[in-house]
Amino acid sequence: MTHEILDPTTTSAWRDLREHAARLASTTIRDLVEADAGRPDSFALAAAGISFDASRQRLDDSTRTSLLDLAAECGVFGRRDQMLAGVHINVTEDRAVLHTALRMPAASTLVVDGVDVAADVHEVLARMGVFAEAVRSGEWRGATGERISAVVNIGIGGSDLGPAMAHIALEAFSQRDISFHFVSNVDPTDMSEALHALDPARTLFIVASKTFTTLETMTNAHAARSWLVATLGEDAVERHFVAVSTNAELVSAFGIDTANMFGFWDWVGGRYSMDSSIGLSTMIAIGAEQYGQLLAGFHAMDVHFATAPASGNVPLLMGLLSVWNRNFLDIETTAVLPYSQYLSRFPAYLQQLTMESNGKSVRLDGTAVDYQTGGIFWGEPGTNGQHSFYQLLHQGTSTVACDVIVVARSENPLTDQQDILVANALSQASVLSLGRTAAEVAADGTAEALVPHKVMPGNRPVSVLMVERLDPFTLGALVALYEHSVFVQGVIWGIDSFDQWGVELGKKVAMGILGDLLGTQPASFDASTDASIARYRSLA
């Protein structure tokens, strides 16, 4: 296929946006808020149960119009339609990008490269459902006839972060007599600590790896296998191990019955796979029906992204705001601040989604970009972060954009704690964006010498995302919102958001160093690495 490679900086919208940035250079968010009483309404959007309030972002209406022009000039809508139709928009791997097909309703049809992918998805979903319900009901037994009481997901990156995040997020909807564990790190501590209190006879391992070759996952899978076999023998492997993978040959070689392998496809990127069979642990936790709700939430956001007019399209605006902050306001990082303990792993999940997708320096045709691309995403749940890094957010020399996520209804109402939580979220959104001037600080009776220390510069762009409840549907919609926002950014920047070549060299070099450490292939590296290896050897 041919790729129209556009340098976004050559568009007229980009030039307009530069002018907007210059025009607004000395206009603060506070100025914008005070100048327009209608702003909270005109910058409030909603989709699939999520309200998105951009009124604390540093832009005005005409800037927003130019951002929408930029989307049009950069071909976001055409690219979106290509993605949804299964065109190979992952150019460097020559693959379709079809995570949206993972959540199409059962009656759908989507023929891509001659195959009805929607039918394939539902075939796997049906098998997952049967298996998940058998584990939940106790019909599926371990080798000695015991019920499964612990599920250990072994995977890394996209084969870990989504399920691990979703497990915590949906704990209130989970079957509580099964415990869930997520082992990802090749550090032997991760597996050892997970297995510490587990009974092999009641433990089910899900080996989750798209390729079934990932060093960390396969090392951990073999460690788990040895642990199980030591107590229950080789024959037990089939009752205690299932696989989620695209690689039937390696799954079978591991000793897993391929009848208990749940497949997915090369058109599902790892970081876009939590709603593929990689979500098997999630389905065991919440059951097939609620898992259907999760998929329905994803799908509702997909439909919105595909059909909502540009001016009210939430993922589109969210992605464009990220471009505005990154390329025109020179803001390098976004803090994701969920005011929900259930979303405690959401920032970690987003780190892979955003940074593995858009941390690129060349366009689709291999030409170097001369503008900034993917920003740095990080975060911690509020209110904990307030007592940690918010000092820098408020008064540091770096400006950090913030996504404040508010869940209105707690699954665990406890006196007035939910109101306390939400009061903190809204307070931070206000203070970060509006700040407090020297005159206001002085008017409080603050000693003159302390005034500069207490001035709050404000002007930190904040989006407030609010949902009624964090249930499976809403979680699906929230994840899809960020997925599509990442997509929009990638299209504007002209990069391939679906490959990850940057992680390969480190893996290869690690194998070389490992050969040297194990003595199987002694080698010499650069001087610093050789010195570090010698130091390690002297200490190990």
Kindly list the residues in this chain that would bind ligand F6P in the complex (CB under 6 A). 156-159, 209-211, 214, 217, 270-271, 356, 500, 503
Sign of CA dihedral 208, 184, 485, 326: negative
Using the minimum distance from each CB to ligand F6P, give the nearer residue, 63 or 500.
Answer: 500
Residue 34: active-site member:
no
Catalytic residue among 356, 360, 380, 484: 356
The alpha carbon of 56 is separated from its chain's Cα centroid by a whole number of angstroms, namely 23
φ and ψ at 105, to 5 degrees?
-60, 160
Q: Nearest approach, Cβ of 23 to ligand F6P (angstroms)? A: 41
Pairing of β 462-467 and β 50-56: antiparallel
Stretch (H or E) spanning 378:
strand 376-379
DSSP type of residue 11: S
Contact 378, 437 (CB under 8 A): no
Catalytic residue among 3, 222, 453, 507: 507
Q: Nearest approach, Cβ of 315 to ligand F6P (angstroms)? A: 21
Using the minimum distance from each CB to ligand F6P, give the nearer residue, 96 or 317.
Answer: 96
Q: Nearest approach, Cβ of 285 to ligand F6P (angstroms)? A: 20
Rounded Cα–Cα distance for residues 204 and 397 (Å) = 49
Using the minimum distance from each CB to ligand F6P, give the nearer residue, 35 or 510.
Answer: 510
Q: Residues, the chain, total?
A: 540
Q: Is 382 helix (H, G, I), strand (E, B) or coil?
A: coil
Q: Nearest approach, Cβ of 99 to ligand F6P (angstroms)? A: 12
User: Which residues, at least 6 apart from 482, have a Cβ–Cβ distance to it below 8 Å?
Assistant: 318, 350, 353, 354
Using the minimum distance from each CB to ligand F6P, give the nearer residue, 270 or 461.
Answer: 270
Q: Residue 356: which of 374, 338, 369 has the closest Cα?
A: 374
Using the minimum distance from each CB to ligand F6P, give the nearer residue, 159 or 383.
Answer: 159
Please tell me whether the peptide bond between 383 and the residue prior to it is cis, using omega within 30 degrees of 0: yes
Residue 122: active-site member:
no
- Tokens representing 262? 């749940």
Helical ranges in 444-540 per DSSP H:
451-454, 472-493, 504-518, 527-539
For ligand F6P, the nearest residue by Cβ is 270
Q: Residue 404: which of 430, 439, 443 has the closest Cα?
A: 430
Using the minimum distance from each CB to ligand F6P, give the nearer residue, 510 or 534.
Answer: 510
Q: Nearest approach, Cβ of 500 to ligand F6P (angstroms)? A: 5
Pairing of β 376-379 and β 400-407: unpaired
Using the minimum distance from each CB to ligand F6P, give the nearer residue, 124 or 201.
Answer: 124
Using the minimum distance from each CB to ligand F6P, give the nearer residue, 156 or 336.
Answer: 156
Using CA atoms, how far residue 124 sits from 275, 279, 527, in Å, is 12, 12, 50
- C-alpha angle 377-168-270 in degrees, rounded to nearest 5: 55
Rounded Cα–Cα distance for residues 337 and 339 (Å) = 6
φ and ψ at 261, to 5 degrees?
-110, 130
Q: Nearest approach, Cβ of 245 to ligand F6P (angstroms)? A: 8
Using the minimum distance from each CB to ligand F6P, give the nearer residue, 217 or 282.
Answer: 217
User: Which residues, at least 6 apart from 387, have a Cβ–Cβ distance to it below 8 Å?
Assistant: none
Q: Nearest approach, Cβ of 231 to ligand F6P (angstroms)? A: 27
Q: Nearest approach, Cβ of 294 to ligand F6P (angstroms)? A: 19
Using the minimum distance from each CB to ligand F6P, give the nearer residue, 270 or 494.
Answer: 270
Q: Nearest approach, Cβ of 160 to ligand F6P (angstroms)? A: 8
Q: Nearest approach, Cβ of 427 to ligand F6P (angstroms)? A: 37
- Tokens representing 165? 């995040």
Rounded Cα–Cα distance for residues 129 and 290 (Å) = 11
Residue 88: active-site member:
no
- Tokens representing 193? 């600590």
Catalytic residue among 3, 222, 387, 453: 387
Burial of 530 (0-12, 13-18, 19+ CB in 10 A): middle
Contact 96, 267 (CB under 8 A): yes
| 333-339 sheet: strands from edge to edge | 44-47, 50-56, 462-467, 400-407, 333-339, 376-379
By annotation, the residues acting in catalysis are 356, 387, 507
